[in-house]
């Protein structure tokens, strides 16, 4: 799932990939797309590496100021 179209970057879990003060749009596994969230307030880890974590971030893009 290469989601670099329209600025989306695929995410497979881990430490926050952007600076603390940045704002991002995120796509969550089976929960949809959410716009303009503070990156520091999100859980960037994956709860289940087998894809069962419904709220895992699977893609993100930085919101341009």
Q: Would you say 35 and 16 are in contact if contact means Cβ atoms under 8 Å apart? A: no
pLDDT, position 4: 53
Please, what's the b/e burial string for 30-62 (b: 16 or more CB within 10 A of its CB; e: otherwise)?
A: eeeeeeebebeebebebeeeeeebeebbbbbbe
Arithmetic mean of pLDDT, 23-48: 92
Domain regions of the chain by residue span: 5-62
pTM of the model: 0.81
How far apart CA 53 and CA 27 sit, in angstroms, is 13
Band of the pLDDT at 1, cuts 50, 70, 90?
very low
């Amino acid at each position: 799932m290469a989601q670099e179209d329209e600025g989306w970057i695929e995410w497979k879990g881990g430490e926050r990939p952007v600076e603390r003060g940045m704002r991002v749009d995120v796509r969550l596994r089976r929960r949809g797309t959410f716009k303009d969230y503070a990156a520091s307030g999100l859980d960037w880890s994956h709860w289940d590496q087998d894809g069962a974590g419904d709220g895992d971030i699977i893609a993100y893009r930085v919101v341009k100021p």
